[in-house]
Amino acid sequence: MTPQREEALRLLRLARRDQETFDLLLPLSQASLAALGFHAQQAVEKALKAIAVHFGLDVPRTHDLAALGQVICDKGIALPLSLDQLRGLNPFAVEYRYNDELIPDISRAALAATVAAVMNWATATISN
């Protein structure tokens, strides 16, 4: 196995860890949307980075999901979601974690759909 493949698989494992935490929190009504969104954002970020590594792309050090998605799109790789959909998770990386007055404008169901779409795509892509 090449170092590139090993790193892509490692990032995908880390993304699954965040997805598993998200899945555990999702049915708990007392789990805040900010906490759910953080784990959703982290799963998607790591999955996008896994895809970038898988295809030998330079991975920028950023939490900006749209920027990561753009790097992937620029190489002709189709994303499972639009850049705007990815951008919608960006505030969960920092802003919603440190400001309790901000109110996220995304539903729990939308977070779950986003995580599932990206994780399924990344898993299928890297498994091939």
User: Residues 48-91: pLDDT tens digits?
Assistant: 999 999 999 999 899 999 999 999 999 999 999 999 999 999 99
* Residue 31 per-residue DSSP state: S
Instruction: Report the alpha-carbon distance of residue 40 to residue 60 in Å, rounded.
Output: 19
What token pair was written down for 32?
A: 């805040």
Q: Which domains does the chain have, with CATH numbers?
A: 3-127 (1.20.120.330)
Mean pLDDT of the chain: 94
Is a pLDDT exceeding 70 seen at residue 93? yes
Q: Which of 34, 39, 42 is nearest to 21 (CA)?
A: 39
Tell me, what DSSP letter sits at residue 90? G
Question: Is residue 100 over pLDDT 90?
Answer: no
Contact 79, 73 (CB under 8 A): yes
Residue 102: the pLDDT is: 63
Q: What local confidence, expressed as pLDDT, does residue 101 receive?
A: 67
Query: What is the pLDDT, as a whole number, of residue 88?
Result: 93
